[in-house]
Amino acid sequence: MTTLSIQKLVGGRKEAINAYLDVHRDEIEEHHRKLETKPSYNRKAEPIGQMVAIAEEPTAFPWRMTVEG
């Protein structure tokens, strides 16, 4: 996902989003390798807000994890 797509989904400053992505770069790349995801995979005709649902509360995520982990 791009910085702009994350910003459209959850808001925030581009600098903060980029800082987060930089810190988690290895984890993100491993996730992509595991799923064999290519950079063009996320290029879709639909707006990202229609394709991805973001839970309002951290505990509402499917894996039941809090923000802290």
Q: Encode pLDDT of 15-56 as tens digits.
A: 999 999 999 999 989 988 998 887 777 666 677 777 777 777
The larger pLDDT score, comparing residue 66 to residue 6, is at 6
Q: What are phi and psi of 40, to 5 degrees?
A: -80, -5
pLDDT surpasses 90 at 57: no
Task: Provide the domain limits for residue 28.
Answer: 3-44
Domain total for the chain? 1
- Is 54 among the domain residues? no
pTM of the model: 0.61
Number of H-type helices and E-type strands within the chain: 4, 0
- Is 36 among the domain residues? yes
- Is 19 among the domain residues? yes
The pLDDT-based confidence of 14 (bands split at 50, 70, 90) is very high
